[in-house]
Chains A and B, each alone.
Chain A
Amino acid sequence: MAQIRLANVTKRFGSHAALDDLSLEIADGEFFVLLGPTGAGKTTTLRLIAGLEKPDAGTIEIGEQDARHWSAAERDVALVFQYYSLYPRYTVRQNLAFPLKSRVRNYSQAEIDARIARAAKTLRIEHLLERKTDRLSGGEMQRVSIGRAIVRDPRAFLMDEPLSNLDAKLREALRAELKELQMKLRGTFLFVTHDQIEAMSMGDKVGVLNQGKIVQVGTPNEIYNRPKNTFVASFVGSPTMNLIAAEMSERRLVAMSGKLQLPAPGQTGQGPVTIGIRSEDIRVGPQEPFDASVHDIENHGVEKIVTLRVEGQVFRATVPAALALKIDAPVKFGFNVEKLHCFNAAGERI
């Protein structure tokens, strides 16, 4: 397996810069998730590494070697796409054998059989080997696609939203399976997704991409608990982090027409700021200091998400499922002040 490094990569399509001076390092054996909204440049990054696109500027290294002039085949990375590109008339075994039959590899039949058996066992598709791929379910097809990537020992695995077309239950199962597979193979994985839950749950590292630029790279914990700006803050986490306009003066934060007054945690300064607070860091109960009314209640089974309203401004709090609440009734709320985030007028963390 190999390390991957992109330095100052720019890629333009016409006048539009899909990637803008992007630098990124994926360590050998790391599960790296590239997370961002549609159009952020995730797929372009992946295609540049795979050799399916050429950068306009910047360098791409694979295994500490300059890979810019290598063909896609020479880069020897395995791709898994959102749409399983399997040969429909072939059996699962034939599909798995395909990447091994290339003349450059020259594997013996015994070696091919052994590799297929090993991949099939890892992905628990041994019982499907003789079946034609058009007779498989979506989850089985995606397992076969992954199988086709792991039968050979590529330098890295590049996966482009491989779970997006599957139903929720299967997605959850494959999430754990992929993570387990990566740990077993000790492989370098680059996984592209717009789904923050996939990024949080699988990534050793998460790179958040927006408009062709890397906004933040960190562990899931860092991304969630110390978002670098309001974009990361509101892209990661569900419900979305509450962002509330406030005014900082001396060591106090004042928001919601003065109804909300808080000590500014650690910072000093003057002027407009944005307070960020996650729904699980807002408490609701009779002993809390601030007044609000209940705007909406969502029952999520394990917990409730309640939307509170103060002075026409709404924000969300996660409360225990058993807490009795009524729409438009008054409630008291408070903050877990240590979990308060503060962003300046430009949206950067302070």
Chain B
Amino acid sequence: MAEIVLRDIEKFFGPAYVIRKLNLTIRHKEFVVLLGPSGCGKTTTLRAIAGLEEIDSGDILIDGEPVQRLEAGDRDIAFVFQLYALYPHLTAYENIAFPLRATRESQASVDAKVRQVARSLQVEHLLNKRPAALAGGDMQRVAIGRALVRRPKAMLMDEPIGALDAKLREEMRTELKRLHLENGSTTVYVTHDQVEAMSLADRIAIMNDGVLQQVGTPDDVYHRPANLFVAQFVGSPVMNIAPAVLATDGNATRVALGGGPGFEFPAQLAGRIARIAAASSGVTLGIRPEGVLISLTETPGHIPVDAHLIEPLGAYDIVDLKIGPQLVRARTPSGFVARAGDRVWARLDPAKTHFFDAETGNSLHTGSGDGAN
């Protein structure tokens, strides 16, 4: 069992807060990713759980026990850093075995454990090598092996694959996930890379400026972002946002971006959007590139726009559309729009359109984006 509870955690550096009123429960066997830009407080939070950083107020509980007064070494938690931190003079085998040397385990038991971990990390053939002779990915595998060998209650990882090249990162992502399935240790993982967060996490906790923004499954944060920060931090290309002007005439609701022409929205949304618009100071519309639908011929319900720029990404294209004063990016099949400058017809998928309060940035929960799956 290892459940980690963070209750009202606060941390200050002088008058500036690094973490503010953070509440988060990491369930037994759960893989939670702390995601955010640099300086958001995610690493400080992780280090606080590990006992490498003091907090100013709040409680950290592991399996219900407050651990603030416990030394890092007594918390039964393993830590993996971005930089491998291996002993250069020891072989991979001795590096992995190191945490067991302090215990009174028999040589046979140590050997069995090291070999088992090495097998699951596919580094058995490297056990006699020193770190200097290993490639980056293998060094990190050994570092993870050293963390796993004690079978700790929880694993904390700080950007463990951030220093690797793109291809290796992809492979390591899969390996880390499989490893977690096998070991089932409660894991807290810090990254600024939303792709890593989306692909690894059971739940993602997104932080900005020391404040927790949203906690949810990858589906939740992608399809139901709580605010503009989350909306634009998760997903690539970034979610399009633009000030929206809502107008209702009869049954139809029209939503215009900036000063541009209006898109039609279904009648059942009309009332809700109108009420929200009346209540708030302004509305910001958000839509991911895959929610912007393009037709090459004039189509009812679509408005004519110019394809300003085409970014071919191989598997698909990103087409920058000029809608009034706004640039809006659409995702299309590769080669769908032939040339930059072409006239196309666009509409916004109401099921993938989000509305936010322009002032607070909070989602207005019109429910329109909720069907997006």
Chain A residues close to B by CB (< 8 Å) = 37, 167-169, 172, 175-176, 179-180, 183, 196-197, 200-202, 220-221, 224-225, 234-240, 278-280, 295-296, 298-302, 305, 307, 314, 316, 318, 321-322, 327
Contacts and interface: CB of A to CB of B under 8 A. Distances in A.
B174 interface: yes
B234 A301 contact: yes
A299 B313 contact: no
A269 to B, nearest CB: 28
A38 B290 CA distance: 33
Contacts of B232: 169
Given A300-B195, A301-B218, A302-B331, A168 B174 contact: no
B315 A278 contact: yes
Given A37-B165, A234-B167, A296-B177, A167 B37 contact: yes
Contacts of A197: 313
Nearest to B310: A201
A124 B200 CA distance: 38
Given A167-B37, A180-B309, A307-B174, A299 B315 contact: no
A299 B234 CA distance: 12
A313 B166 CA distance: 20
Interface string B279-295: 00000000010100000
Interface in B257-294: 288, 290
B312 interface: yes
B314 A168 contact: no
A68 B193 CA distance: 43
A299 B198 contact: yes
B199 A224 contact: no
A175 B327 CA distance: 13
Contact of B235 (A179, A220, A302, A316): A302
A327 B199 contact: no
A252 B318 CA distance: 37
Contact of B166 (A201, A238, A278, A295): A238
Contacts of B199: 298-300, 305
Given A239-B170, A298-B173, A201 B236 contact: no
Interface of B: 37, 165-167, 170, 173-174, 177-178, 181, 194-195, 198-200, 218-219, 222-223, 232-238, 288, 290, 308-309, 311-315, 318, 320, 327, 331, 335, 340, 373
Nearest to B175: A296
B181 A327 contact: yes
Nearest to B176: A296
A122 to B, nearest CB: 15
B221 to A, nearest CB: 9
Contacts of B320: 176
A202 B312 CA distance: 8
Contacts of B318: 201
A301 B223 contact: yes
Nearest to A235: B167
Contact of B288 (A172, A183, A302): A302
A314 B236 CA distance: 25
A201 B311 contact: yes
Contact of A237 (B200, B222, B314): B314
B178 A220 contact: no
Contact of B312 (A200, A239, A316): A200
A37 B165 CA distance: 9
Contact of B311 (A200, A224, A318): A200
Nearest to B221: A301
10 contacts: A168-B194, A172-B238, A176-B311, A179-B311, A200-B313, A201-B311, A201-B318, A296-B177, A299-B219, A316-B170
Contacts of B234: 301
A196 B313 CA distance: 9
Contacts of A280: 315
B237 A172 contact: yes
Given A176-B327, A278-B314, 15 more contacts: A172-B237, A176-B309, A183-B340, A201-B312, A220-B314, A235-B167, A240-B167, A296-B177, A296-B178, A299-B199, A300-B195, A300-B199, A301-B222, A302-B331, A307-B174
Nearest to A304: B199
Given A167-B37, A172-B236, A301-B223, A220 B315 contact: no
Contacts of B311: 175-176, 179, 200-202
A314 B177 CA distance: 14
A172 B198 CA distance: 19
A201 to B, nearest CB: 4
Nearest to B335: A221
A200 B166 CA distance: 16
A58 to B, nearest CB: 29
Q: Which of B174, B331, B335 has the most CB of A within 10 A?
A: B174
B313 A201 contact: yes
Contacts of A168: 194, 236, 238
A167 B229 CA distance: 14
A327 B174 CA distance: 12
A31 to B, nearest CB: 12
B321 to A, nearest CB: 12
A274 to B, nearest CB: 15
A45 B331 CA distance: 34
A235 to B, nearest CB: 8
Nearest to A318: B315
B174 A295 contact: yes
Contacts of A235: 167
Contact of B178 (A167, A236, A295): A295
A151 to B, nearest CB: 24
Contacts of B331: 302
A220 B312 contact: yes
A313 to B, nearest CB: 13
Contacts of A302: 235, 288, 290, 331
A278 to B, nearest CB: 7
Nearest to B237: A172
Contacts of B335: 221
Contacts of A237: 314-315
A85 to B, nearest CB: 22
Contact of B174 (A175, A299, A301, A314): A314
Which of A236, A295, A302, A305: most chain B Cβ within 10 A?
A: A302
A183 B308 CA distance: 11
A56 B311 CA distance: 37
Given A299-B198, A300-B195, A301-B222, A321 B373 contact: yes
A34 B236 CA distance: 23
B174 A200 contact: no
A300 B315 CA distance: 14
